[in-house]
Structure 1
């Protein structure tokens, strides 16, 4: 079991050895994001830009005009908030092949402070034209995604978690753009998750099985583009759908699923479970998972509440 940030740093070096166009631009957080691997092993492909994220995005876009394929390295919040204008105008509007890599994404950022948490990033980036939005479940899916991204000729937002989670896939996994992935069968309730929260959601389903509730678990690695027909197929026979995400319930996975259901399956009930519309707090991971209802036990309890006719949010 390896942390996504470690796999990100290792895979970048591999990609750069295979393709001289691959470069990493870092905003003074290489040790945290593990871009330091590139600095140590291929220093000619590593550019330290300092704490100047907006400028880093501009430089990256400029480098694409010379044929480079730049990967950005910093905490996600500094990209989706501090550098949003540059990403919107310079990267998205020009369809530049800049890889916007959001390290320390979501709620669990190692007590770095609530100012460094980003619980709105999927909503922000999903609404941006031309932007591919990806959230891998584990280290294996991340590596497979990065191999695909390396060949993609356009902008990508990649959500990278800080800490390791129990693997969902293995080394045989192949990432297929747009596709949704059923990772567990069940007929009593359908759980839809994304990113590393899928690992905890799968554990919740296993807890529910011990209580006589069989949950189908569907993983959505690509929030944009999305295989709408594939998602509809997974949800069409659902008694109730519960979306589970380490993100605000507004505009992220829950919003995406609700949009699809409203258009295609208006009779299906959707309950969104994630962060409520309020600012979070900074604390150790176990405390935050319990407080915000994202640990396996808390997710399982939420599902039981929903099945018993409880609150819809």
Structure 2
């Protein structure tokens, strides 16, 4: 019902409306499946002209709001409920719509993450390094317009891409990256996210672990994929 209103009353007339949607993903926790939206990125990506942003921490959330305010046109901002580590609190941090940020250089595999799993992906990359696997980590805060140049560069550099999102693997970041890879930069891709299922009620941290979005789970999956 709400999507139809956004499509017809905001997207179609190209109104300068900013939508701040909170409580996204399974980290909503005890409220359960009815409150855990794992499909919103997929829906909003389909609206022509809609910008879709999924910040990774407090610093980036503030920067994203400012960028959305300055952008003329509809914008969908996705915010989670759970507190996450601050990873962008450095002097040279710069947020640009549609421009991914490389947080860690690597040569064996590229992890492209968005939102809450970005910090978990960085932690996973540290564990991978201890095993001799060099993992590049990219923060794709803007899902639409996607930074295709960053994806193409990663595909050419490592040849193996892993996408990580607190969202369905259908229609989200992983699908957007695969669209680019299939058309412009052939490479192996593995998608980590919610695997075509609803969430459930439980403590947020435990749910993140159960659904494979914690650092240890990402580490295990990427390690097997990178071999």
Larger radius of gyration between Structure 1 and Structure 2: 1
* TM superposition shift of 1:239: 3.2
* TM superposition shift of 1:106: 1.1
Unpaired segments of 5 or more residues in structure 2? none
Aligned twin of 2:62:
143
Aligned twin of 1:235:
155
Q: Does 1:125 align with 2:48?
A: no
TM-score, with length taken from structure 1: 0.70
* TM superposition shift of 1:171: 5.5
* TM superposition shift of 1:297: 0.5
Kept after mapping to 1: 8 A contact 2:146/2:176: no
The 1-side partners of 2:127 and 2:54 are apart by: 24
Aligned twin of 1:223:
143
Kept after mapping to 2: 8 A contact 1:218/1:234: no
Higher relative CO (CA 8 A, sep ≥ 6), structure 1 or 2? 2
Unpaired segments of 5 or more residues in structure 1? 1-81, 309-313
1:247-266 matches, cutoff 5 A: 247-266=167-186
Q: Does 1:199 align with 2:119?
A: yes
Aligned residues: 226
* TM superposition shift of 1:230: 3.0
1:1-313 matches, cutoff 5 A: 82-170=1-89, 172=91, 173-266=93-186, 268-308=187-227
TM-score, with length taken from structure 2: 0.95
- 1:227-284: per-residue Cα shift (whole Å, max 9, x none)? 3123212321213111111111111011011100001112x10111111012221211
- 1:159-181: per-residue Cα shift (whole Å, max 9, x none)? 01112211221153221111111
Structure 1 runs (4+) deviating above 3 angstroms are none
SS for the counterpart of 2:34 is: helix
